A and B are shown apart, each in its own frame.
Chain A
Amino acid sequence: EDKVVQSPLSLVVHEGDTVTLNCSYEVTNFRSLLWYKQEKKAPTFLFMLTSSGIEKKSGRLSSILDKKELFSILNITATQTGDSAVYLCAVELQGAQKLVFGQGTRLTINP
């Protein structure tokens, strides 16, 4: 069974801290890994990763994929209260038009 596991499930930090969110996967036919931010309703796209070892960066957020060890991390530096959200990791399967989601990491940034 295809599986995506995120850790931690919940994280509370102070504004300005750096956080690292983890995503590991066991799937039959990997195509890409995606990170989404879910604040109230719609998951909003952050990153799509297909190649190992190449860091993707957007402002204070960055992410990298390790296809050998089957995991990805999402880093957020200098966190702000607006970063508070559930961060979702999802794996897209080759030859199947669907995403398999992890359970999400609920990140809370306290002022």
Chain B
Amino acid sequence: EPEVTQTPSHQVTQMGQEVILRCVPISNHLYFYWYRQILGQKVEFLVSFYNNEISEKSEIFDDQFSVERPDGSNFTLKIRSTKLEDSAMYFCASSLGGNTIYFGEGSWLTVV
């Protein structure tokens, strides 16, 4: 069964460093998303991406965050200058649109 894959599964980074989280969405999907889940809290929407541009973003997704689809398969989330409060599980997801949203296994980011 096709799945969303994410790398790395776990990353530890120093505060202020840049981090790039990578995702390979399901191949025929058109909509791509990033969500995050701080330990013990709700899953929160960050950003959605369609037709090579951001279609929606939350208040969390400030200027420190950016997304890119550099080629036909990868979808990346960059955090420019990490803060302690960015520590969370980051989930990539994809969908055909109007259909089920499928999630990857997540990338656990620890900022120290």
- Interface size grouping (class) on chain A: 20 to 34
In the bound complex, residues from chain A placing their C-beta under 8 Å from that of B56 are 96-98
A96 nearest CB neighbor, chain B only = B56
Q: Is there an interface contact between B100 and A34, defined as CB atoms closer than 8 Å?
A: yes
In the bound complex, residues from chain A placing their C-beta under 8 Å from that of B91 are 42-43
How many A-B residue contacts, CB cutoff 8 Å? 48
Asked if B14 is at the interface (CB within 8 A of a chain A CB), the reply is no
SS of B interface (majority): strand
In the bound complex, residues from chain A placing their C-beta under 8 Å from that of B44 are 101
Q: Could you name 18 residue pairs across A and B whose Cβ atoms are closer than 8 Å?
A: A42-B106, A44-B103, A45-B102, A48-B99, A48-B100, A90-B43, A92-B101, A97-B50, A97-B55, A97-B56, A98-B33, A98-B56, A99-B101, A101-B42, A101-B43, A101-B44, A103-B41, A103-B42
Binding site for A on B (CB under 8 A): 4, 31, 33, 35, 41-45, 48, 50, 55-56, 58, 89, 91, 99-106
